[in-house]
Amino acid sequence: MTQLTMAKSINEGLRRAMADDPRVLVMGEDIGKLGGVFRITDGLLDEFGAKRVIDTPLAEAGIMGTAVGLAFRGFRPVVEIQFDGFVYPAFDQIVCQVAKLHYRTQGNVTMPITIRIPWAGGVGAAEHHSESPEAYFVHTSGLRVVAVSNPQDAYVMLRQAIASDDPVVYFEPKRLYHQKGEVDLDMDVADAPPMGVARVAREGEDVTLLTYGAQVATALDAATAAEDEGVSIEVIDLRSISPVDYRTVTASVRKTGRVVVTHEAAREAGVGAELIASVTEQCFHYLEAPPVRVTGFDIPYPPAKLEKHHLPDLDRILDAVDRVLDRPNSLTTAEAGS
């Protein structure tokens, strides 16, 4: 075990995946000499050379489309999208080509492409640098979509994503890049929990709190705070948001009977909507209260000085917990006031 930042653990994941398999290559903007704008690919160019660490022209559709061609030829490209908000020019290649080629070719052509996306907000960035586009990809059949929340998962799930014969959209919370955690780099990745399996990040009895990515930390803070008020929250880190591990999710909901979902992305047709619909289908008779979503607002990502109001914080989560527990909350206060 070593203490590593998430940035470093991802870097190690790339390095070891490339060392183990000569068909793995990384490609993206500025990933060579600079090591990427977040330095995630630091040192890889020196170690593996320019044929496997490819500084591409500045063209996201170009990066994704050539990755498709490389996959056709049997390579396993790991693509870095510089920032979440810049994945949209590549969207067509991802949803029409990367996601569908295995199906379209009746399984003859595989697309083992890993799409790494530095993701989401909370870092005071400029416009288009803090987006949470995961729902677009979750809605696309043929893709797997994962979001990591700690350095250990970041390392293991990256290795698993690269090893997968399916395309994986791999979201890296920028907010967590420099947080340290224990990482076992020498673990046998095959023995680790598969990337599709959710993790109970904290056990609890009264409310199930579902989340993923950087929001896991906020959810855990909320659980700690709730404990002071005598409320026991079970926090589930989904890890994979397509497919969702509903076995773990529904086991928790059947225990607690109450569900809160939190994510940074906007609410409408978001991942929370899907989670609650599925939980309601599968656990309706166990539910003690209507599930509640705590999400970003349905607005374009706000300017940095205001983003703290958009990002669901500990207090908004606790307010939702009060709602599912039928305790006084912002809605009852508003009603009483009117």
- Considering only CA atoms, which of 4, 54, 17, 272 is closest in space to residue 157? 17
Lay out the site mask for other proteins across 92-111 (x = CB under 8 A, - = otherwise).
xx--xx---xxxxxxxxxx-
310: which residues sit within 8 A by CB, 6+ positions away? 121, 264, 296, 297, 299, 301, 302
Q: Which stretch binds other proteins (CB under 8 A): 29-37, 70-78, 126-134, 255-263?
A: 70-78
Nearest residue (CB) to other proteins, 220 versus 283: 283
Nearer to other proteins by Cβ, of 190 and 334: the residue is 190
Q: What's the full length of the chain, in residues?
A: 338
Stretch that binds other proteins, among 40-48, 86-94, 227-235, 283-291 (CB under 8 A): 86-94
- Our finding on whether 61 is near other proteins (CB under 8 A) is yes
**91/286 with CB nearer other proteins:** 91
Task: Give the Å distances, CA to CA, from 168 to 139, 196, 288, 318.
Answer: 13, 11, 36, 33
Strands (E), the chain: 2-5, 24-28, 53-55, 76-80, 114-119, 144-147, 168-173, 180-183, 199-202, 207-211, 233-237, 240-242, 259-266, 292-296
Residue from the set 1, 19, 59, 269 that interacts with other proteins by CB under 8 A: 59
The packing angle between helices 215-228 and 314-324, to 10°, is 60
Closest to 145 (Cα-Cα) out of 170, 120, 163? 170
Catalytic: 309? no
Residue from 86, 91, 246, 297 touching other proteins (CB under 8 A): that is 246
Alpha carbon separation from 37 to 80, 118, 123, 309, 329 (Å, rounded): 10, 10, 14, 27, 42
Q: According to CB under 8 A, which one of 20, 47, 72, 300 is a site residue for other proteins?
A: 72
70 binding other proteins? (CB under 8 A):
yes
The packing angle between helices 246-256 and 271-283, to 10°, is 60
CB 54 to other proteins: min, Å: 8
Please say which residue, 149 or 242, places its beta carbon nearer to other proteins.
242
Query: What string marks each residue from 262 to 291 as x (binds other proteins by CB under 8 A) or -?
Result: ------------------------------
How many Å apart are CA 188 and CA 297, to the nearest integer? Answer: 41
- Please pick, from the candidates 29, 80, 153, 245, the single residue that binds other proteins as defined by CB under 8 A: 245
Nearer to other proteins, 122 or 142 (CB): 142
Lookup: tokens for 126: 């400029």
> Is the Cβ of residue 61 or residue 187 nearer to other proteins in the bound state?
61
Q: Find the catalytic residue in 129, 178, 285, 310.
A: 129
Read off the DSSP letter of residue 98.
I
**Catalytic residue positions, numbered:** 129
Given the rule CB under 8 A, which residues bind other proteins?
Answer: 25, 51-52, 54, 56-57, 59, 61-62, 64-75, 89, 92-93, 96-97, 101-110, 112, 141-142, 144, 164-166, 196, 242-247
